[in-house]
A and B are shown apart, each in its own frame.
Chain A
Amino acid sequence: MPKRNDLEQKALHFVVKTGYEGVLQSELWRELGASSREGSRIALKLEEKGLIRRDKELQGGRWTYRLFPKRLPASIESIADCPCLLCQDNARCDPTTTISPKSCAKLTDWILSLDRGAPVPSGDGYFAQGLDPR
Chain B
Amino acid sequence: MLSTVDDATLMKVATALGEEDAVKLIESLKNSEETTDDEIANKTGIRLNSVRKILYKLYDHSLVSLRRTRDPKTGWFIFHWKLQPDQLEGFILSQKRRVLEKLSVRLEYEKKHDFYYCNTPGCKRIPFEEAVELVFTCSTCGKPLVHYANERIVQQLAAKVEQLRKELGE
- Contact count A vs B, C-beta below 8 Å: 107
Q: A95 to chain B: which residues have CB within 8 Å?
A: 105, 109
Query: A83-96 toward B: CB 8 Å interface, digit per residue (1/0)?
Result: 01110000001010
B38 within 8 A of A: no
Are A76's CB and B16's CB within 8 A? yes
Closest Cβ of chain B: how far from A77's Cβ, in Å?
Answer: 7
Can you list 30 contacts pairing A with B, beta carbon distance less than 8 Å? A8-B2, A9-B3, A12-B4, A13-B6, A16-B4, A46-B2, A51-B4, A73-B5, A74-B93, A75-B167, A76-B12, A76-B95, A77-B12, A78-B163, A79-B164, A80-B12, A84-B99, A86-B16, A95-B105, A95-B109, A101-B103, A101-B105, A103-B124, A107-B102, A107-B106, A108-B125, A111-B156, A126-B121, A126-B122, A127-B121
Known contacts A102-B109, A115-B156, A124-B122; can you find 8 more A-B pairs with CB under 8 A? Answer: A49-B2, A74-B4, A74-B9, A81-B16, A108-B125, A111-B153, A112-B153, A127-B125
